[in-house]
Amino acid sequence: MSCLTLQASALTFPAPPYSNTLSNDSQDNASKNISSISLLRKCRTFKEIPPIHANILKNGHQNDPFIVFELLRMCSKTNSINYAFEIFHHIREPNVYLYTVLIDGVVLSGLYLDSIRIYCQMVEDLILPDNYVISSVLKACGFQMELKFGREIHGQATKLGLCSNRSVKLRLIELYGKCREFQDAKRVFGEMPERDVVAATVMISCYSDHGLAEKAVDVFNLVRIKDAVCWTAIIDGLVRNGEMSKALKFFRRMQREGVRPNEVTCVCILSACAQLGALELGKWVHSYLEMHDIDVNHLVGSALITMYSRCGDIDEAERIFNVLRERDVTTYNSLIMGCALNGKSGKAVEMFQGMITKGIRPTNITFIGVLTACSHGGLVDLAFDIFDSMETKHGIEPEIEHCGCMVDLLGRVGHLEDAYKFIWSMKITSDHIIWGSLLSACRIHKHFDIGERVAQVLVDIGDADSATFILLSNFYAAQGKWEAAAQARVKLQDGGVRKEPGCSSIEVENEIHEFLLGDTRHPKREEIYKKLEDLNQMLRLKGYSPDTEVISQDIGDQEKKWALAIHSERLAICYGLISTKPHTTIRVVKNLRVCSDCHSAIKLITEITGRNIVLRDRNRFHHFENGICSCGDYW
């Protein structure tokens, strides 16, 4: 029988340790022990607690509820929960307050099942729960996704008349929201005072956790007066659900309504700026942090480094890293990956070696960053040394992402047979992403023999996504096998897989402008296409000839040339040329890999216009200047 089926009337309610109704003897006892309590409250680390505890035992006060309460609280505060268990085990008659402080500590330590077990023990000891312990154990149920147990506690709280308590209601909303029981969550939410901002924030977070961004926005709009925490919750939810542009719009609304962003808000919006390549807005957030003396700790510092590096300003990212007071593995990871994506492979490796020397333990993310750097730099031998050291020196077992970096590297340098063998030798089961990476390399290096074998594997795997079918289609088209290419595209449609359209964005005057292939939606479309026509004429004078092999459809040569000319990144660049001052750098973000023809054309555009162009595609950054790209035509 569940411990929660006990009747509330059968339970006894103990006197609290800090109650004003304590007996005179208890008050005298508390007064005598105030020095021990004072010493405990001054503890900052666990090693300070045992000597004080020893003195308490020596004086025979180990069952004094005042002292035991403070002992358990300090164990929780110093993350010494095992010591707290030992203390609690020797208490003769624990009351609800001692149970509550122990359960709170256990929940904070992430031991959710243990906290539920302790709660059951409390009920079996016939101790009546109060709203504090109910709130704590409901929090544990939410994080542990223990819906059934949470419902039982809800029922017990109703019998005890505790469901009117605001803290209990908030935990119930959190429990049902985390368990996707949104009807129950909304019912409890509806019982709260109208437009309760904290309850709304909990609902927003729950919807966001489950990818229901629009539902989160609906709740947000119900709140009349929103605080910084509520604004941060909706911005964070939108960022986590990939709604970067919407997140920026809400941030601007937040500014217009005069709500001051906090540290967490800034980290969220910096993440959105990083994803969108919104450098100017990211710089504004950085200035805001400095202007309001918000501490740039390792978390904020990592967000700034990521933002600058993902927006193509790797020099500023390095500068921030160098002035940070706190540096941990997160800040190192941010800069290592930033250097890797921006073509500074040597610097990324140097940073990796530096953190090892300083005794900072690398994580699996660290190795993804440094192996990506090796891949983009063609550093084969060094990459294998680092890859082998993961297990032998650092005790980290390679995951699929690390193996993918190695296959990508071998494919880039043309070691396709080695890449093929590497995949079959992996301890981890390969997926369509790794095989797709090798197929793409086979197409680029025109190694169709291995490519045919890889293509067959991809067909046999059966879990291909849109990118896989497109790769297959392009691979067959490169050999002139139009029928096979068409069949791959038919499978794409028959499987209900939607092809991700190429999209490029550019930030101008703090606004993000997006372009698709042949886009005609922009208000300045006439000026954009006029600039495109002028550029095409100048490109021809420079000897540019479109690489029509890039187009995988079986269409005429002129149609292919026009299709290349209206790629989304070229439209974004043309908009940048007509909308920004001469000599300023144009920064474009593309969601797919830039094609070889656009890569060649953009190099010439920098010669023609005298502009530097920074293009971030799915794989890396390309810094174009005076007809040269930072990738060395190796991407």
The pLDDT of 27-33, averaged and rounded, is 54
- Return the sign of the alpha-carbon dihedral for residues 390, 391, 392, 393: positive
Identify the burial level of 361 via C-beta atoms within 10 angstroms of its C-beta, where 0-12 means exposed, 13-18 middle and 19 or more buried: exposed
User: So what's the pLDDT on residue 21?
Assistant: 41
Q: How far is CA 276 from the centre of its chain?
A: 14
Confidence of residue 494 (pLDDT cuts 50, 70, 90): low
Which DSSP letter does residue 46 get? G
Lowest mean pLDDT among 16-20, 138-142, 545-549, 592-596: 16-20
User: So what's the pLDDT on residue 42?
Assistant: 85
User: So what's the pLDDT on residue 348?
Assistant: 97
Please check the confidence at residue 399 and state whether its pLDDT lies above 80: yes
The pLDDT of 571-584, averaged and rounded, is 96
Confidence of residue 497 (pLDDT cuts 50, 70, 90): low
In angstroms, the Cα distances linking 97 to 46, 136, 234, 408 are: 22, 12, 35, 58
Contact present, 440 and 455 (Cβ < 8 Å): no
Predicted TM-score (pTM) above 0.85: no
Matching CATH number, 399-494, of 1.10.287, 3.40.630, 1.20.1280, 1.25.40: 1.25.40
501 or 358, which is more confident:
358
Could you give the CA distance from residue 64 to residue 581 in angstroms, rounded to a whole number? 75
Contact present, 100 and 132 (Cβ < 8 Å): yes
Please check the confidence at residue 598 and state whether its pLDDT lies above 80: yes
Could you give the CA distance from residue 264 to residue 268 in angstroms, rounded to a whole number? 6
Could you give the CA distance from residue 2 to residue 8 in angstroms, rounded to a whole number? 14
Q: What angle do CA 305, 512, 519 make, to 5 degrees?
A: 130
Please check the confidence at residue 540 and state whether its pLDDT lies above 60: yes
Contact present, 450 and 468 (Cβ < 8 Å): no
Confidence of residue 6 (pLDDT cuts 50, 70, 90): very low
Question: Within 13 Å, how many C-alpha atoms sit on residue 254's CB side?
Answer: 24
Confidence of residue 518 (pLDDT cuts 50, 70, 90): very high
Please check the confidence at residue 23 and state whether its pLDDT lies above 60: no
- For all residues of the chain together, what is the average pLDDT? 88
Please check the confidence at residue 165 and state whether its pLDDT lies above 90: yes
Pairing status of strand 586-590 against strand 503-508? antiparallel
Please check the confidence at residue 66 and state whether its pLDDT lies above 90: no
Share of the chain above pLDDT 90, in %: 64
Lowest mean pLDDT among 233-247, 285-299, 437-451, 468-482: 468-482
Could you give the CA distance from residue 461 to residue 441 in angstroms, rounded to a whole number? 19
- Return the sign of the alpha-carbon dihedral for residues 623, 627, 628, 634: positive
Confidence of residue 16 (pLDDT cuts 50, 70, 90): very low
Please check the confidence at residue 533 and state whether its pLDDT lies above 90: yes
Task: Please choose, from the candidates 35, 47, 114, the residue with its C-alpha nearest in 3D space to the C-alpha of residue 74.
Answer: 47
338 or 89, which is more confident:
338
Domain segments of the chain as ranges: 399-494, 504-629
Please check the confidence at residue 14 and state whether its pLDDT lies above 60: no
pLDDT digits (tens, 9 = 90+) for 258-280: 999 999 999 999 999 999 999 99
Which DSSP letter does residue 14 get? P
> Highest-confidence range of 61-65, 321-325, 592-596, 617-621, by mean pLDDT?
321-325
Could you give the CA distance from residue 184 to residue 171 in angstroms, rounded to a whole number? 12
Confidence of residue 499 (pLDDT cuts 50, 70, 90): low
User: So what's the pLDDT on residue 566?
Assistant: 92
Q: How far apart are the first and last CA of the chain?
A: 64
Confidence of residue 8 (pLDDT cuts 50, 70, 90): very low
Please check the confidence at residue 31 and state whether its pLDDT lies above 60: no
In angstroms, the Cα distances linking 89 to 46, 73, 99, 121, 462 are: 19, 15, 11, 12, 55
Contact present, 339 and 345 (Cβ < 8 Å): yes
Phi, psi of 61 (to 5 degrees): -105, 25
> Highest-confidence range of 47-61, 78-92, 117-131, 480-494, by mean pLDDT?
117-131
The pLDDT of 305-317, averaged and rounded, is 95
User: So what's the pLDDT on residue 431?
Assistant: 87
pLDDT digits (tens, 9 = 90+) for 195-250: 789 999 999 999 999 999 999 999 999 998 999 999 999 999 999 999 998 999 99
The torsion of the CA quartet 292, 298, 299, 302, rounded to 10 degrees, works out to 100
Please check the confidence at residue 29 and state whether its pLDDT lies above 60: no
Lowest mean pLDDT among 209-213, 239-243, 488-492, 557-561: 488-492
Lowest mean pLDDT among 10-19, 166-175, 362-371, 522-531: 10-19
Radius of gyration of the chain (CA): 31
* Three-class SS state of 511: strand
Please check the confidence at residue 28 and state whether its pLDDT lies above 60: no
Identify the burial level of 27 via C-beta atoms within 10 angstroms of its C-beta, where 0-12 means exposed, 13-18 middle and 19 or more buried: exposed
Share of the chain above pLDDT 70, in %: 90
Q: Specify the DSSP element, H or E, that contains 175.
A: helix 166-178
pLDDT digits (tens, 9 = 90+) for 298-308: 899 999 999 99
The Cβ of residue 449 has, within 10 Å, a number of other Cβ atoms equal to 9
User: So what's the pLDDT on residue 530?
Assistant: 96
Lowest mean pLDDT among 56-65, 98-107, 181-190: 56-65
The contacts of residue 262 (CB under 8 Å, 6+ apart) are 228, 229, 232, 294
User: So what's the pLDDT on residue 47?
Assistant: 86
Contact present, 623 and 612 (Cβ < 8 Å): yes
Amino acid identity for residue 295 in this structure: D
User: So what's the pLDDT on residue 634?
Assistant: 67
The Cβ of residue 264 has, within 10 Å, a number of other Cβ atoms equal to 16
User: So what's the pLDDT on residue 12?
Assistant: 40
Lowest mean pLDDT among 62-76, 395-409, 579-593: 62-76
Could you give the CA distance from residue 601 to residue 565 in angstroms, rounded to a whole number? 9
User: So what's the pLDDT on residue 593?
Assistant: 86
Identify the burial level of 54 via C-beta atoms within 10 angstroms of its C-beta, where 0-12 means exposed, 13-18 middle and 19 or more buried: exposed
Count how many residues are written for the chain: 635
Contact present, 303 and 286 (Cβ < 8 Å): no
